[in-house]
Protein backbone atom coordinates (compact mmCIF):
# COMPACT_ATOMS: atom_id res chain seq x y z
CA UNK A 1 0.00 0.00 0.00
CA UNK A 2 1.12 3.52 -0.73
CA UNK A 3 2.38 5.40 2.29
CA UNK A 4 1.97 9.04 3.21
CA UNK A 5 4.33 11.44 4.91
CA UNK A 6 3.11 14.52 6.72
CA UNK A 7 4.81 17.07 9.00
CA UNK A 8 3.97 16.22 12.61
CA UNK A 9 2.74 19.69 13.53
CA UNK A 10 1.93 23.12 12.12
CA UNK A 11 0.62 26.44 13.39
CA UNK A 12 -1.63 28.84 11.53
CA UNK A 13 -2.93 32.27 12.46
CA UNK A 14 -6.68 32.59 12.73
CA UNK A 15 -8.22 33.93 9.52
CA UNK A 16 -5.25 32.95 7.40
CA UNK A 17 -5.09 30.05 4.97
CA UNK A 18 -3.75 26.79 6.37
CA UNK A 19 -1.77 24.75 3.84
CA UNK A 20 -1.16 21.17 4.92
CA UNK A 21 1.26 19.15 2.75
CA UNK A 22 1.33 15.42 2.17
CA UNK A 23 3.85 13.31 0.28
CA UNK A 24 2.70 10.07 -1.33
CA UNK A 25 5.53 9.35 -3.74
CA UNK A 26 4.63 5.66 -4.23
CA UNK A 27 0.99 6.30 -5.13
CA UNK A 28 -0.42 4.21 -7.97
CA UNK A 29 -2.49 5.55 -10.82
CA UNK A 30 -5.78 4.22 -9.47
CA UNK A 31 -5.32 5.28 -5.86
CA UNK A 32 -7.26 8.17 -4.39
CA UNK A 33 -6.05 10.74 -1.88
CA UNK A 34 -8.38 11.32 1.06
CA UNK A 35 -8.20 13.85 3.85
CA UNK A 36 -9.80 13.44 7.24
CA UNK A 37 -9.44 15.38 10.44
CA UNK A 38 -9.87 14.38 14.05
CA UNK A 39 -10.72 16.85 16.72
CA UNK A 40 -9.56 15.74 20.14
CA UNK A 41 -11.18 12.44 21.23
CA UNK A 42 -13.81 12.53 18.48
CA UNK A 43 -14.20 10.29 15.44
CA UNK A 44 -12.39 11.27 12.24
CA UNK A 45 -14.36 13.63 10.00
CA UNK A 46 -14.24 13.43 6.21
CA UNK A 47 -12.94 16.56 4.50
CA UNK A 48 -12.28 15.91 0.83
CA UNK A 49 -10.81 13.44 -1.64
CA UNK A 50 -9.43 13.41 -5.17
CA UNK A 51 -7.73 11.32 -7.83
CA UNK A 52 -5.75 13.69 -10.02
CA UNK A 53 -7.74 16.87 -10.47
CA UNK A 54 -7.89 19.63 -7.91
CA UNK A 55 -11.03 19.52 -5.81
CA UNK A 56 -12.94 22.07 -3.74
CA UNK A 57 -15.87 21.80 -1.40
CA UNK A 58 -17.37 23.91 1.36
CA UNK A 59 -14.68 22.86 3.82
CA UNK A 60 -11.43 22.91 1.88
CA UNK A 61 -9.50 22.65 -1.37
CA UNK A 62 -7.27 19.79 -2.42
CA UNK A 63 -4.38 20.45 -4.75
CA UNK A 64 -2.70 17.37 -6.25
CA UNK A 65 0.55 17.77 -8.16
CA UNK A 66 0.64 16.69 -11.79
CA UNK A 67 2.85 13.68 -10.98
CA UNK A 68 0.49 12.85 -8.09
CA UNK A 69 3.38 12.35 -5.71
CA UNK A 70 2.21 15.02 -3.32
CA UNK A 71 -0.87 17.02 -2.39
CA UNK A 72 -1.85 20.00 -0.28
CA UNK A 73 -5.00 20.52 1.74
CA UNK A 74 -5.99 24.17 1.96
CA UNK A 75 -8.31 25.54 4.62
CA UNK A 76 -8.93 29.02 3.17
CA UNK A 77 -9.75 30.90 6.39
CA UNK A 78 -8.69 28.93 9.43
CA UNK A 79 -10.71 29.28 12.62
CA UNK A 80 -9.99 28.06 16.14
CA UNK A 81 -12.40 25.19 15.51
CA UNK A 82 -10.08 23.91 12.79
CA UNK A 83 -7.51 22.92 15.42
CA UNK A 84 -7.26 19.15 14.92
CA UNK A 85 -5.08 16.33 13.63
CA UNK A 86 -5.30 16.13 9.84
CA UNK A 87 -4.75 12.78 8.15
CA UNK A 88 -3.79 12.28 4.52
CA UNK A 89 -4.75 8.79 3.33
CA UNK A 90 -4.07 6.99 0.09
CA UNK A 91 -6.78 4.51 -0.68
CA UNK A 92 -6.39 1.47 -2.88
CA UNK A 93 -8.89 1.32 -5.73
CA UNK A 94 -10.28 -2.14 -5.17
CA UNK A 95 -10.31 -2.24 -1.43
CA UNK A 96 -12.15 -0.48 1.30
CA UNK A 97 -9.23 -0.31 3.66
CA UNK A 98 -8.08 3.03 4.97
CA UNK A 99 -4.52 3.08 6.25
CA UNK A 100 -4.00 6.26 8.19
CA UNK A 101 -0.64 8.01 8.22
CA UNK A 102 0.73 9.71 11.31
CA UNK A 103 -1.10 12.97 10.56
CA UNK A 104 -0.37 16.67 11.11
CA UNK A 105 -1.47 18.35 14.31
CA UNK A 106 -2.70 21.79 13.24
CA UNK A 107 -3.01 24.50 15.87
CA UNK A 108 -4.86 27.65 14.90
CA UNK A 109 -3.60 30.56 16.93
CA UNK A 110 -5.81 33.56 17.82
Q: Judged by CB under 8 A, does residue 43 bind another protein?
A: yes
> Nearest approach, Cβ of 43 to another protein (angstroms)?
4
Q: How far apart are CA 73 and CA 87, in angstroms?
A: 10
Q: Judged by CB under 8 A, does residue 45 bind another protein?
A: yes
β-pairing verdict for 45-50 and 32-38: antiparallel
DSSP bridge pairs for 69: none
- Cα 8 to chain center, whole Å? 13
Using CA atoms, how far residue 32 sits from 43, 52, 53, 59, 64, in Å, is 21, 8, 11, 18, 10
Q: Which CB atom, from 53 or from 97, has the smaller least distance to another protein?
A: 97
> Nearest approach, Cβ of 100 to another protein (angstroms)?
4
Q: Judged by CB under 8 A, does residue 53 bind another protein?
A: no
Number of residues this chain uses to bind another protein (CB under 8 A): 25
Binding footprint of another protein on the chain (CB under 8 A): 30, 32, 34, 36, 41-46, 49, 87, 91-103
Amino acid sequence: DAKTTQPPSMDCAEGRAANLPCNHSTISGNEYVYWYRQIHSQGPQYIIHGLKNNETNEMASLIITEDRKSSTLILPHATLRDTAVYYCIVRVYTGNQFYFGTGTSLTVIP
